[in-house]
Every structure is written in C-alpha cells, then in structure tokens.
Amino acid sequence: MTEENSSRKKDCGGKKKAMLAYGVIQISASVVSAISLAAIALSLCALKQQSKAFNTCIDLSLEQGLDGVQAVRYCNGG
C-alpha cells in the first residue's frame, strides 16, 4: 500500500508543475492582451486628435480662398 501511495504522489508532482506552468502562461497571455488593447486605445485617441487638426486646417484653408483639392494638398504638407 505505501508503495502505491508514494508512486501516486510522484505522478501528481509532475501534474502540479504542469498545471502551474499552464496557469502562469494563461496569466501572462492575459496581461499581454490587456497591454495591447491599451496601446490600441491610445493610438485611436491620437488619431482622433490628428483628424481634428486636419479638419481645422481644411476649414481655415477654405476660408482663405483655396479650393478643396488645394486645401487638402496644403494640409497634407504638399
């Protein structure tokens, strides 16, 4: 009986390590995913600000007498 119990404990030790490794990998993947989503959200905020600045530039260029194509070219830096 004691030999069976000791062999079962040895088998469970490997499973425990494997489950611990699996848990750590899952948590790490969740952290990486959260960081990626935060980076995407921040880039969208920057894109919104750039769009607002571009639209303001277009409006000011149109008020100065440029037509639409010239205003877009001017605001794109060309």
pLDDT for 28 beyond 70: yes
Counting the structural domains of the chain, the total is 1
Domain that holds residue 15: 2-75
Let me know: does 61 contact 74? Beta carbons within 8 Å: yes
Cα dihedral: 43, 48, 51, 56 (round 10): -140
Residue predicted with more confidence, 8 or 72 = 72
CA 33 to chain centre: 7
Instruction: Please give the pLDDT value at position 14.
Output: 75
Residues 58 and 72: beta-carbon distance below 8 Å: yes
Kindly report the pTM of this predicted structure. 0.53
pLDDT: is 36 or 78 the higher one?
Answer: 36
Nearest-10 Cα torsion for 55, 58, 64, 65: -140
